[in-house]
Amino acid sequence: MPIRVVVWNEFHHERTRDDVKAVYPDGLHNTIAAPLRGEDGVEVSTATQEDPDCGLTAERLAETDVLIWWGHARHDDVPDDVVARVKERVLAGMGLIVLHSAHFSKIFKSLMGTTCDLKWREAGERERLWVVAPGHPITEGIGEYIQLEEEEMYGEHADIPAPEELVFISWFQGGEVFRSGCCYRRGAGRIFYFRPGHETHPTYHNTEIQRVIANAVRWAAPTGPDVRGFGNREPLESLG
Amino acid sequence: MPIRVVVWNEFHHERTRDDVKAVYPDGLHNTIAAPLRGEDGVEVSTATQEDPDCGLTAERLAETDVLIWWGHARHDDVPDDVVARVKERVLAGMGLIVLHSAHFSKIFKSLMGTTCDLKWREAGERERLWVVAPGHPITEGIGEYIQLEEEEMYGEHADIPAPEELVFISWFQGGEVFRSGCCYRRGAGRIFYFRPGHETHPTYHNTEIQRVIANAVRWAAPTGPDVRGFGNREPLESLG
Amino acid sequence: MPIRVVVWNEFHHERTRDDVKAVYPDGLHNTIAAPLRGEDGVEVSTATQEDPDCGLTAERLAETDVLIWWGHARHDDVPDDVVARVKERVLAGMGLIVLHSAHFSKIFKSLMGTTCDLKWREAGERERLWVVAPGHPITEGIGEYIQLEEEEMYGEHADIPAPEELVFISWFQGGEVFRSGCCYRRGAGRIFYFRPGHETHPTYHNTEIQRVIANAVRWAAPTGPDVRGFGNREPLESLG
Amino acid sequence: MPIRVVVWNEFHHERTRDDVKAVYPDGLHNTIAAPLRGEDGVEVSTATQEDPDCGLTAERLAETDVLIWWGHARHDDVPDDVVARVKERVLAGMGLIVLHSAHFSKIFKSLMGTTCDLKWREAGERERLWVVAPGHPITEGIGEYIQLEEEEMYGEHADIPAPEELVFISWFQGGEVFRSGCCYRRGAGRIFYFRPGHETHPTYHNTEIQRVIANAVRWAAPTGPDVRGFGNREPLESLG
């Protein structure tokens, strides 16, 4: 069974700003999806906020194993019923990979329970993502750190729940740090937040960043049918 | 500075059902509040769903250090703006103690990000809450376990995020187990979920249960002003 | 690349006690190894305390991806240098699955840092292992719980570090609970402690128990070369 | 009941090197102890590696609530039986605060189960310790970060178990990051690792660093008698 991945993008900056178009002429979703198409056992499609129902009907979600989400300027335009459908699928086992500015997406905030607020600076400064969990499947093939010559800064304190597994910590040239690779479980679903990827920087063209995303897809994919039962129960033992 | 505690109760069963009235004639809130009034450095008041604004105005919440929450049948009748106010205060540092059937309260589900669903059975069976974190402040004064001769059963799998600290695990006579004492942080606020306390059982008259709640009040109380800053930032170091 | 598994057994009770021989005539190691031989992409061998160097030379460990450990009566007879070699390999990435009474093995205590002590009772009572992490790879193919009609009891508080992921909680007929499936990382290695498996009960003949062990082998297998560097470092940035 | 603190120091560099003597003329232990003496409800004494039994007899440890440990060059000279005594007390509930180069102390390695190795550089560079757990008692009175103008660098990956609570992350001028404030529980004892404090830098004269250590003392102090029982047990329920 292949892992069925949907790369979702709000697809706004690439259509309205020349500086972004220059870096991601096909849209962020297609740049993120392209290297995944070369992965064994992975099937990839894309969806955007422009599609009917944001491209995320119940039918399509039912056939999705891992959803990758990029958004920035139009979080509030994602309808609440779409967010509710995605959340239900995550809790039932679908993996979710949340990229960069999607920390402020409705779906991530709803799954985390916090504001997900943080510090930021658009100065195209150097970032180093240090591996703090060697041996973790998401870091496979990555050395001691990933260096990006120019990125937006995100700084602590970030108002997220403590990650269940912390995989990367970023160093920024301007003096900040950030928990950049964060693993969570919610229901039967696995969630990975991965920090880099501002729309004006060529981050998703970086092969190490692509490697991390591909690793995260395998880590987040559901491993079997979700067996859970809730509600009123008969006793298993005599209450005699 | 005393710890200012508000005990909140939906106060429904005690007014409508004789079997509950018999166990909690003054309302669950007053039974829960009474032993806290004897604690050094703790100031206690109560609020119910019957009060205007559920008794939880912005002014009152601003003067509350720890909020204790009991609800069961009328979760949906708590207005969303009240829930939003409580959540904002928790993220800013107010402690929250969530009791028993309040696992399904709007505020708890919103902070957890999951359905908070579980198995249950009303059979008045025996429960033992085993301490799995000796040395934790919430278990101070408690022995190896607390035994309750009759309680409602709650069973796993419970759809909650993995507790950051797991303090109690319950054994039930009918064959189930439950993570009964669960610590979380959301924002600057500490949250403790404590399982026991069905409305027809005298659980809140039990001095060990009272001890745990008093311990949790001290654990959850904010320890200082919340110093966090978000948003756009100047670099601390030269970006050269 | 297959996952190379070594099933290690102290192999003492099966040679000295008829009641154990009756349940595990080929030794616990062979009963544990047999179903793993049927797994795709897994290569299995066995080793015992009777072998020279406990069957765990540096050469063999270097070619082992996952080590499964069963011991009970002769923990102290495992030489310290063997324990040191195993520990070094775990920290470098080898998976370790610790079964039942091996909670008291030198290698587990050394990796945990605690006494690993617990309560116990040999009464052949009923155990139910409830899944508390649905969606976790180790629970794949398992329903809501695994029931064992007769097992030794292990009870809380168990003196182990809080599991990084808690997968199973056991219910025992006699009134106790236990954290029965516990995941840890130490260095680049993953460790899974799995409670059941007293030598007089047919636990390792149970297909669900076998499924959990096979799942744990895949979960614990190293995912890539271990890339870590320690020691004195030149600055990456100018110190001006 | 006051919190009884012992500040332990190997007391080697301050006696043998003029550059260290210049910064800590009374020894690191006395500089660390001094501000604690001004804390309400705290009783402070010191001990060094030069004292008989390292100043840590069973009698003294029995009367110690929190032990602060600084060591660097002479870890191997601490006798194993002293380490065993300290470990036993930690597991029984004594708090332990491990400072800077004591990451390589026998006691810390024994409690962690890993090598505790890391990257380092002595270049007197700038360090910023960012608070990532606002609202945590150890950060009380601290702003968004603590800045130290000159410190030794410690860099990731550090080979420690994932902290149960991560309180500080350090940024270093030369390009590295580090998990600088790490909370663990082992047995009934609480352990706090706090990174800063190289012997040639005036770190322990910094009032914010002193504040963190005082906060950690209160956090790590035992909260009550340690109630745990191990070994063979009678059933609580009928086994029919």
pLDDT of residue B225: 77
Neighbours of A171 (CB within 10 A): 29
pLDDT of residue A229: 86
pLDDT in tens, chain A (240 residues): 899 999 999 999 999 999 999 999 999 999 999 999 999 999 999 999 999 999 999 999 999 999 999 999 999 999 999 999 999 999 999 999 999 999 999 999 999 999 999 999 999 999 999 999 999 999 999 999 999 999 999 999 999 999 999 999 999 999 999 999 999 999 999 999 999 999 999 999 999 999 999 999 999 999 877 777 899 999 999 997
Nearest to A118 by CA among A128, A126, A108: A108
Most A CBs within 10 A among B88, B108, B150, B228, hence the mutation to make, goes to B228
Residues of A in contact with C139 (CB under 8 A): 224
Query: Is residue C155 within 8 Å of residue C169, measured between CB atoms?
Result: no
CATH class of A3-116+182-220: alpha beta
- Chains touching C (3+ CB pairs < 8 Å): A, B, D
Quick one: which H or E segment has residue C46? strand C42-48
Residues of D in contact with C116 (CB under 8 A): none
pLDDT above 70 covers what percent of chain C? 100
Helix runs in A41-92, H state only: 58-62, 80-91
- Round the CA-based radius of gyration of chain C to a whole number and report it: 18
Q: Does B2 touch chain C (CB under 8 A)?
A: no
Cα distance between the two ends of chain C: 48
pLDDT, one tens digit per residue, over B149-163 is 999 999 999 999 999
Residues of B in contact with A114 (CB under 8 A): 91, 186-187
pLDDT, one tens digit per residue, over C102-114 is 999 999 999 999 9
> How many Å apart are CA C102 and CA C116, to the nearest integer?
10
Q: How confident is the model at residue D223 (pLDDT cuts 50, 70, 90)?
A: confident
Average pLDDT (B67-76) is: 97
Q: How confident is the model at residue C1 (pLDDT cuts 50, 70, 90)?
A: confident
φ, ψ of residue C137 in degrees (nearest 5): -55, -30
pLDDT of residue C240: 75
**8 Å CB contact of C186 and D161:** yes
pLDDT, one tens digit per residue, over D63-80 is 999 999 999 999 999 999
Neighbours of C123 (CB within 10 A): 16
CA–CA min distance C73, chain B (Å): 26
CA dihedral D201→D205→D210→D211, nearest 10 degrees, is: -110
ipTM of the complex in this document: 0.96
Q: Does C93 touch chain A (CB under 8 A)?
A: yes
φ, ψ of residue D28 in degrees (nearest 5): -55, -40
Residues of A in contact with D146 (CB under 8 A): none
Residues of D in contact with B139 (CB under 8 A): 224
User: Which A positions 18-57 lie with beta carbon below 8 A of chain C?
Assistant: none
Instruction: Say yes or no to pLDDT of B1 above 90.
Output: no
pLDDT, one tens digit per residue, over C177-209 is 999 999 999 999 999 999 999 999 999 999 999
Residue of A nearest to C230 (CA): A144
pLDDT, one tens digit per residue, over B184-194 is 999 999 999 99
Write the DSSP assignment of D25-82 as a string of letters: TT-HHHHHHHHHHTSTTEEEEEEETTSGGGG--HHHHHT-SEEEEE-SS-GGGS-HHH
Of B223 and D11, the structure prediction assigns the larger pLDDT to D11
Question: B71: buried, middle or exposed (CB in 10 Å: 19+, 13-18, 0-12)?
Answer: buried
Angle ∠(D95,D101,D105) on CA atoms, nearest 5 = 60
Q: In the block, which residue shows the tokens 């182990």? A: C160
User: Which C positions 120-139 lie with beta carbon below 8 A of chain A?
Assistant: 126, 128, 131, 133-137, 139
Weakest-pLDDT range from A55-69, B216-230, C85-99: B216-230
Domain covering C3-116+181-220 assigned CATH 3.10.20.30 in the classification: no
> What's the CATH superfamily of B3-114+181-220?
Class I glutamine amidotransferase (GATase) domain (3.40.50.880)
